[in-house]
């Protein structure tokens, strides 16, 4: 079934096909779990265990959740109370993110024991049995959320006695593909959209907006996929990445160090790029580096090859994707709020002084479109203007085409549970059939560089995994849903390169003939 006609969202079909792998998305907003910092991939798992059902939570269910939160979720200021209870011989059970690290001593003669870290309580050296680490080796990477049982050892050291992870760990991709066969293309697109946390039936989410929101999934389904999104505040660009999986990490603005991103020369601990599947740099327009050369050099190498080295260490390989999010439109937003305090006052873009139309990265025209769409990174930090770095990115997501996120845009249908959904997306990275398909069905004109081709094929493969995991589609489906948006993503990079460096002007700036499929 590949009908493109608009359809009504079919909750019953989703339940029938996916069973206990789906959840009514209206459950989470009223639960209070998000307000205490619990990501959706954990919260939905808990809701289904504690108060299974559908529809908005009842008062009885809310009381049950509230009681559970108070009992199981520690706050930072609970640390001393928990440690006191442990010293009195109590066993405490709590729900939190836990990581495990091995502390190496130079010239040490004893094999070091693993040490558990519970960030929310600022506990960094908890004893933990090696058999727990053996069972859940993801603890050694980015860590995992779960139910942690704590006790105090006679020597005064906190011990992790037991651990039960919450996240889905096994995915049947063949079964997932068979489930896809039960939906037409529009139904499936809306299911994926809903599973991300967005309401597919909201009138503001037209087809183009949905496409660019779905493009946020590309770094999860494609290994070493690197992209920029330029979007206004409030479009939900960081919301999704914060809630999909503990294998995705987000750094918000400020200063980023080589030790944080690559490897810590003092502790020898591998950085974020080596431990996560996707690293998201939010508010990149405010990023600063103490030593830009020390950061940009390894970063360019990594974007090109998937490897990096630092401080004399051997090369580290990783398939982690890098996502850079930049905010647009803050100046006009501030101006409109200052001068239009009453909703009854008509407001025109022409009323805004020209100086206020230019924000940190995009200057807008009268239709709130980028004034210089051919050079979108002109006002970003200087390191973005280095063409050797920019050319290594697969594309720029046009976030100004995505409407601002409002309460009624939250998903209210039945979608896939976030923990299952995240694991499916990441598991699709390993399936090479999609890359083979796009290579067989795409050819490029002579004016398309190898980097252009690789970027387009990677994006097209990603859209194929997202929308057609069963690989049953027509060439028209492929060109419309996969290849065309892939080309638009890369075109934004090519246009900027053209204006930044004379070397790229030999390729001209018009759209390349890269959408010819083999029949």
Contact predicate 231/328, CB 8 Å: yes
Distance, in Å, from the CA atom of 324 to the CA atom of 279, rounded to the nearest integer, reads 9
| Residue 31 confidence (pLDDT) above 50 | yes
Position 431 scores a pLDDT of 94
Half-sphere exposure of 391 (CA within 13 A, CB side): 18
| Residue 516 confidence (pLDDT) above 60 | no
Burial class (CB in 10 A: 0-12, 13-18, 19+), 442: buried
Q: Provide the percentage of residues in the chain whose pLDDT is more than 70.
A: 83
Cα distances (angstroms) measured from residue 346 to each of 232, 251, 350, 351? 22, 38, 12, 10
Instruction: Give the pairing of strands 278-282 and 248-252.
Output: parallel
| Residue 354 confidence (pLDDT) above 80 | no
Segment 200-227 shows an average pLDDT of 95
Instruction: Give the pairing of strands 158-165 and 144-152.
Output: antiparallel
Half-sphere exposure of 51 (CA within 13 A, CB side): 26
Contact predicate 185/477, CB 8 Å: yes
Strand partners, 516: 443
Q: Could you give the angle at the alpha carbon of 48 between the alpha carbons of 43 and 52, nearest 5°? A: 135
Position 342 scores a pLDDT of 31
Instruction: Give the pairing of strands 226-232 and 321-328.
Output: parallel
| Residue 356 confidence (pLDDT) above 60 | no
- Residue 374: strand, helix, or coil: coil
Across all residues in the chain, what is the average pLDDT?
83
Position 337 scores a pLDDT of 30
Segment 324-339 shows an average pLDDT of 51
Sign of torsion over alpha carbons 79, 80, 81, 82: positive
Best mean pLDDT range from 39-48, 319-328, 469-478? 469-478
Contact predicate 254/285, CB 8 Å: no
Position 514 scores a pLDDT of 45
Q: Among candidates 429, 392, 387, 396, which has minimal Cα distance to 301? A: 392
Global pTM reads 0.85
Position 327 scores a pLDDT of 78
Other beta carbons less than 10 A from residue 136's beta carbon: 18
Distance, in Å, from the CA atom of 481 to the CA atom of 296, rounded to the nearest integer, reads 34
| Residue 92 confidence (pLDDT) above 90 | yes
Distance, in Å, from the CA atom of 388 to the CA atom of 217, rounded to the nearest integer, reads 25
Query: Between 16 and 72, where is the model more confident?
Result: 16
CA 6 vs. chain centroid, Å, equals 28
Distance, in Å, from the CA atom of 381 to the CA atom of 288, rounded to the nearest integer, reads 9
Query: Between 67 and 383, where is the model more confident?
Result: 67
Distance, in Å, from the CA atom of 271 to the CA atom of 255, rounded to the nearest integer, reads 15
Q: Among candidates 118, 114, 66, 113, which has minimal Cα distance to 92? A: 118
Q: How confident is the model at residue 286 (pLDDT cuts 50, 70, 90)?
A: confident
Ranges 84-98, 141-155, 372-386: which has the least confidence: 372-386
Segment 505-509 shows an average pLDDT of 54
Distance, in Å, from the CA atom of 56 to the CA atom of 68, rounded to the nearest integer, reads 18
Ranges 388-402, 422-436, 498-512: which has the least confidence: 498-512
Position 331 scores a pLDDT of 40
Distance, in Å, from the CA atom of 270 to the CA atom of 285, rounded to the nearest integer, reads 26
Burial class (CB in 10 A: 0-12, 13-18, 19+), 250: middle
Query: Between 330 and 305, where is the model more confident?
Result: 305
Contact predicate 100/140, CB 8 Å: yes
Q: Among candidates 215, 289, 292, 225, which has minimal Cα distance to 253? A: 289
| Residue 218 confidence (pLDDT) above 90 | yes
Q: How confident is the model at residue 226 (pLDDT cuts 50, 70, 90)?
A: very high
Ranges 23-27, 135-139, 496-500: which has the least confidence: 496-500
Burial class (CB in 10 A: 0-12, 13-18, 19+), 182: middle
Burial class (CB in 10 A: 0-12, 13-18, 19+), 3: exposed
**Tokens read off for 492:** 């934004």
Position 16 scores a pLDDT of 97
Segment 416-441 shows an average pLDDT of 94
Tell me which residue has tokens 């108060």: 51
Q: Provide the percentage of residues in the chain whose pLDDT is more than 90.
A: 49
- Residue 265: strand, helix, or coil: coil
CB crowding 86-98: b at 16 or more within 10 Å, else e? beeeeebebbbbb
Q: Could you give the angle at the alpha carbon of 62 between the alpha carbons of 59 and 63, nearest 5°? A: 90
Ranges 381-385, 389-393, 446-450: which has the least confidence: 381-385
Position 293 scores a pLDDT of 77
Other beta carbons less than 10 A from residue 497's beta carbon: 22
Count, in order, helices (H) and strands (E) of the chain.
21, 14
Q: Among candidates 8, 13, 4, which has minimal Cα distance to 415? A: 13
Q: Tens digits of per-residue pLDDT, 158-181?
A: 999 999 988 666 789 999 999 999
Segment 114-126 shows an average pLDDT of 91
Tell me which residue has tokens 């647009």: 328
- Which residues lie below 8 Å from residue 168, measured CB to CB, with a gap of 6+? 417, 419, 420, 422, 423
Query: Between 428 and 309, where is the model more confident?
Result: 428
Distance, in Å, from the CA atom of 309 to the CA atom of 316, rounded to the nearest integer, reads 6
Contact predicate 395/492, CB 8 Å: yes
Position 59 scores a pLDDT of 93
DSSP at 479: I
Position 343 scores a pLDDT of 32
Segment 23-37 shows an average pLDDT of 87
Distance, in Å, from the CA atom of 116 to the CA atom of 99, rounded to the nearest integer, reads 6
Position 216 scores a pLDDT of 96
Concatenated DSSP letters of 326-350: EEE-HHHHHHHHHH--STTS---GG
| Residue 396 confidence (pLDDT) above 70 | yes
Can you give the length of the chain in residues? 519
Position 353 scores a pLDDT of 40
Contact predicate 373/362, CB 8 Å: no
């Amino acid at each position: 079934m590949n009908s493109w006609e608009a359809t009504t969202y079919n909750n019953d079909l989703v339940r029938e096909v996916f069973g206990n792998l789906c959840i009514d998305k209206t459950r989470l907003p009223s639960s209070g779990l998000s307000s205490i910092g619990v990501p959706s991939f954990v919260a939905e798992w808990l809701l289904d265990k504690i108060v299974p059902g559908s529809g908005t939570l009842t008062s009885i269910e809310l009381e049950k959740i509230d009681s559970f939160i108070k009992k199981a979720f520690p706050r930072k200021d609970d640390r001393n109370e928990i440690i006191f209870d442990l010293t009195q011989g109590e066993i405490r059970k709590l729900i939190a993110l836990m990581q495990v690290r091995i502390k190496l001593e130079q010239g040490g003669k004893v094999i070091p024991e693993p040490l558990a870290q519970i960030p929310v309580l600022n506990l960094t050296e908890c004893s933990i049995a090696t058999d727990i680490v053996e069972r859940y080796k993801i603890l050694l990477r980015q860590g995992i959320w779960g139910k942690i049982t704590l006790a105090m050892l006679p020597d005064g050291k906190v011990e992790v006695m037991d651990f039960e992870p919450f996240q889905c760990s096994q995915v049947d991709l063949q079964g997932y593909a068979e489930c896809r066969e039960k939906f037409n293309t529009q139904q499936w697109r809306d299911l994926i959209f809903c599973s991300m946390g967005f309401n597919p039936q909201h009138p503001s989410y037209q087809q183009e907006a949905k496409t660019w929101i779905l493009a946020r999934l590309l770094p999860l389904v494609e290994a070493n996929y690197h992209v920029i999104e330029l979007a206004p505040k409030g479009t939900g660009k960081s919301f999704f990445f914060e809630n999909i999986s503990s294998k995705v990490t987000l750094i918000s603005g400020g200063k980023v160090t080589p030790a944080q991103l690559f490897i810590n020369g003092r502790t020898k601990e591998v950085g974020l790029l080596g431990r996560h599947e996707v690293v998201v740099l939010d508010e990149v327009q405010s990023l600063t580096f103490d030593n830009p050369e020390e950061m940009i050099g390894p970063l360019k190498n990594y974007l090109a090859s998937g490897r990096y080295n630092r401080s004399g260490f051997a090369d580290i390989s990783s398939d982690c994707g890098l996502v850079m999010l930049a905010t647009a439109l803050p100046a006009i937003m501030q101006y409109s709020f200052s001068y239009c305090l009453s909703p009854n006052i008509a407001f025109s873009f022409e009323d805004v002084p020209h100086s206020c139309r230019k924000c940190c990265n995009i200057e807008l025209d009268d239709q709130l479109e980028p004034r210089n769409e051919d050079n979108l990174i002109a006002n970003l930090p200087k390191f973005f203007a280095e063409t050797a770095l920019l050319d290594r990115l697969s594309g720029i997501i046009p976030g100004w085409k995505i409407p601002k996120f409002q309460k009624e845009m939250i998903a209210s249908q039945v979608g896939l549970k976030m923990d299952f959904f995240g694991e499916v997306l990441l598991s699709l990275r390993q399936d090479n059939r999609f890359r083979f398909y796009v290579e067989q069905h795409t050819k490029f004109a002579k004016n398309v560089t190898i980097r252009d081709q690789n970027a387009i094929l990677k994006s097209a493969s990603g859209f194929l995994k997202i929308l057609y995991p069963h690989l049953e589609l027509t060439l028209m489906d492929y060109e419309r849903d996969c290849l065309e948006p892939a080309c638009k993503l890369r075109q934004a990079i090519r246009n900027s390169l053209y204006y930044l460096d004379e070397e790229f002007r030999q390729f001209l700036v018009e759209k390349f003939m890269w959408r010819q499929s083999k029949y």
